Chains A and B, each alone.
Chain A
């Protein structure tokens, strides 16, 4: 017979391949979204008063007269080689613009995730332990309110309290390279807190639901009827089966993070990818928007892929086939 490949490996590889395909599809969507929709790019850049010759020149310069698939392939191949073109409005090299900002965004989002994830799981466990009690209901109502609030509400309330009324943290998160770590942390304290609160509430509710689902499984009753101590029942029996749904929850919420970071950067004027994207959308600087959009999408797809793979690995049926 042939080589027996662990079905686990095939599933993982297949998932990775799927992600690559998805990314390609998204790049097509982004390209189509910006270059094929009605609306003359040249017109919107030069405005209503532009002369026909100026418009024609700009179109030739932007390569808008070439057929669509050629433009797409040209754009994609350059992108993959690290050349994202130049900004229409500022003339800067886009790749260096993005790389500068990307680090800042990842720093902010990373710290928010680092705080939110363990806290959410812990609160989820607490809520399940005191199920239907006062603590559980309190947590439930608080998080319900929290997930309903727009990020800018939370952000500006925090600014109002911490920056204006009590004056202990800056209202604008100004960071620069070479900044000392402690100062940097102080600068991102409020944006990070905003992001954390937004994501924490969602994650905690879903964790609680996932845990409750596991707790109501028949094998949990078996553990109780064996007279096992409650600690062991939760940690040895419930938790291993809850890992997979919790991973799904966490990653779904990291998706919220990707979106939330954009708004938070605007609120706190933080020099990250989100601010970059929004600024250039307003300025209708298409090349920057395309590249930044694609980078965001890639991060998003990467996170989802990691979550799916972790889920696959956590499933005992797949790790130990028949």
Chain B
């Protein structure tokens, strides 16, 4: 049984990859490389996370491929450890926002009536405040610990997931097969998981990607402002902050972690864009 299950998974995966545009395939490779770096950090990083390996702001060399930062630490090493932090925090926050927002959004769409009104009003209220501002307000009184960051990012971003998943579910719920399930007497949970969810996979997948990209950017912004991951732990955002004074002297060290962030988010956006444009809408219905 497992052999067939694996072959099914592999063939689904290859079909997926074949569906992507050439740009998106390159992006997928980049994404996998960064993910590998994050997972294998302690084994593939050339030096220790805070190990001093040379003078500050050294240029590219054989010893230090991307040069050193403002304290003389190897940039490549810190990039790899930074990837670990980024994927961990942004990933967890996205999972949190996605499950929370997605679940509530589906419930709102399927229940309708008062439940929908209440959840939507609450969501509108939460969305009325810019995410960054609210995060800053919270972080003025709470410490920038892992849990706080994940909670703040997760809860605030769930509002967007709520809006999208609710819209997707409402679009699907108007189809007669959902009403047929209701008339049969199926319970809400069954309707959500067996009728609606299988038809919502494509937009949800795309949204997950977009939310993850946003979480990466948001986390790095917070770190850049000094309110995210605190040094000496490596994070792409706080690496930009630490090295920014070098720019004025013509030292591009700060651009390297920034470029890493850009590469990650561009890759995600390319893949999501390709998926959205390739998958047809719900039925692929034809006009007469």
Contacts and interface: CB of A to CB of B under 8 A. Distances in A.
Given A37-B138, A286-B140, A141 B23 contact: yes
Interface stretch (A9-17, A104-112, A156-164): A156-164
Given A277-B136, A278-B225, A156 B254 contact: yes
How many B residues touch the partner, as a band?
35 or more
Contacts of A151: 221
A286 B141 CA distance: 8
B266 A165 contact: no
A267 B255 CA distance: 13
B22 to A, nearest CB: 12
Interface string A143-165: 01101111111001101100111
- Chain A, interface size: which category? 35 or more
B260 to A, nearest CB: 10
B247 A26 contact: no
Interface in A228-259: 255, 258-259
A153 B254 CA distance: 9
A281 B255 contact: no
Contact of A278 (B136, B141, B255): B136
Nearest to A258: B130
A76 interface: no
A284 B217 CA distance: 24
Contacts, number: 149
Contacts of A44: 141
A293 interface: yes
Mostly helix, strand, loop or mixed at chain B's interface? Answer: helix
A177 B227 CA distance: 30
B136 A150 contact: no
A59 interface: no
A301 interface: yes
B255 A153 contact: yes
A262 interface: yes
Interface in B248-270: 248-250, 252, 254-255, 258-259, 261-262, 265-266, 268-270
Contact of B130 (A150, A280, A297): A297
28 contacts: A29-B129, A30-B137, A34-B138, A37-B141, A38-B142, A41-B141, A145-B266, A148-B266, A149-B261, A150-B217, A151-B221, A153-B240, A153-B259, A153-B261, A156-B240, A156-B258, A262-B132, A263-B221, A263-B225, A277-B133, A278-B136, A278-B227, A281-B136, A281-B140, A281-B227, A289-B136, A296-B130, A300-B130
Interface of B: 23, 124-125, 128-134, 136-143, 213, 217, 220-221, 224-227, 240, 244, 247-250, 252, 254-255, 258-259, 261-262, 265-266, 268-270, 273
**Smallest CB-CB A-B distances: 6 pairs:** A153-B258, A148-B265, A148-B266, A281-B140, A289-B140, A259-B132
